[in-house]
Amino acid sequence: MNVFVQAWDNRATWKAVYAKKLAKLGYNPQKMNKNNLVNPAAVVADTLHRSGLNGKRVYLIGEQGLRDEMDELGIEYFGHGPEKKMDEEGGAFMYDIKLEENVGAVVVGYEKHFDYTKLMKASNYLREDDVLFVATNEDETCPGPNPEVVIPDAGPIVAAIKCASGRDPLTVGKPCTPAFNYIKRKWNINPSRTMMIGDRTNTDVKFGRDHGMKTLLVLSGCHQIEDIIENQMNERDDMVPDFVAPCLGALVPERV
């Protein structure tokens, strides 16, 4: 059986950084390197490349990982980073914004510089029906070092743009099918001999169950045993894992 573990964080921790971290943790760099890691940024860039932008540019709300993957495929983008602050003195509201021409897609992921101006620009670009709306993922929150602090992920940003634009995105991240299609196309995996490992029942476990893989929930992140029980009570079998482990390290035999 193949065991498939995804590096699914797109906040300035692009694939080369993950590969280096995995090597420090003891993974064989010949088998686990940047060429066989997957994150939403890679799937987004592949989706855009395959869609045929025909020279049009991408309005990007996202971090370094997305930029790296788009650079690799020669996709032109703009809009990332902080917006230039506008002088709003004397005005009740910012009615006017400068929109660029020749925009073929709006890509939305986690970005710490997301603000009202970016929301307004994205929503206006999406008024054109032929402009693609692509999202990395719709996770509500992500884990951090302080469990008492809520850290919003890309989901709330995507939700704001969905609401303002009236458009639904093509979401490529777990549990959606574009990610699975990308993986299957690139590595020709056999789902019945592949395991999906993750710490969320609504993304990792559902992704595996929806696409015919075995699933393992590790309890070192977002969801715990009580979440599994709640899913069972609500008859959400697609979010009930086949196996549970306290952490990923529990899969490694202890050295004597």
Q: Are 221 and 200 in contact (CB under 8 A)?
A: yes
Residues in Cβ contact with 91 at an 8 Å cutoff, skipping those fewer than 6 apart: none
Pick the CATH number of 11-80+101-187 from 3.40.50.2000, 3.40.50.1000, 3.40.190.10, 1.10.1240.10: 3.40.50.1000
Please tell me whether 71 is known to bind a ligand: no
Whole-angstrom Cα distance, residue 140 to residue 15? Answer: 22
Domains 11-80+101-187 and 190-251 share a fold: yes
Q: Are 62 and 136 in contact (CB under 8 A)?
A: yes
Whole-angstrom Cα distance, residue 105 to residue 132? Answer: 4
Q: Is 98 left (phi over 0), alpha (psi -120 to 50) or beta?
A: beta
- pLDDT for residue 103: 98
At residue 20, the 3 state secondary structure works out as helix
Where does 190-251 sit in CATH, by number?
A: 3.40.50.1000
Whole-angstrom Cα distance, residue 216 to residue 23? Answer: 23
Amino acid, single-letter form, for residue 22? L
Give the DSSP per-residue string, 33-69: SGGG---HHHHHHHHHHHH--TT-EEEEE--HHHHHH
Q: Are 108 and 62 in contact (CB under 8 A)?
A: yes
* CA proximity to 122, closest of 47, 10, 114: 114
CA 54 → CA 23, 100, 172, 178, distances in Å? Answer: 39, 16, 21, 21
- pLDDT for residue 144: 79
- pLDDT for residue 77: 97
Rounded to two decimals, what is the model's pTM? 0.83
Q: What are phi and psi of 106, to 5 degrees?
A: -115, 120
Domain boundaries, the chain: 11-80+101-187, 190-251
Mean pLDDT, contiguous 10-residue spans, the chain (256 residues): 47 67 83 84 94 94 92 94 70 71 97 94 96 94 84 95 98 93 93 94 95 96 94 96 92 68
> Which strands, in side-by-side order, build the sheet including 132-135?
77-78, 57-61, 103-108, 132-135, 170-171
How many DSSP H helices and E strands does the chain contain?
A: 8, 9
Whole-angstrom Cα distance, residue 36 to residue 22? Answer: 12
Please tell me whether 24 is known to bind a ligand: no
Q: Which residue has the tokens 């994205």?
A: 122
- pLDDT for residue 122: 97
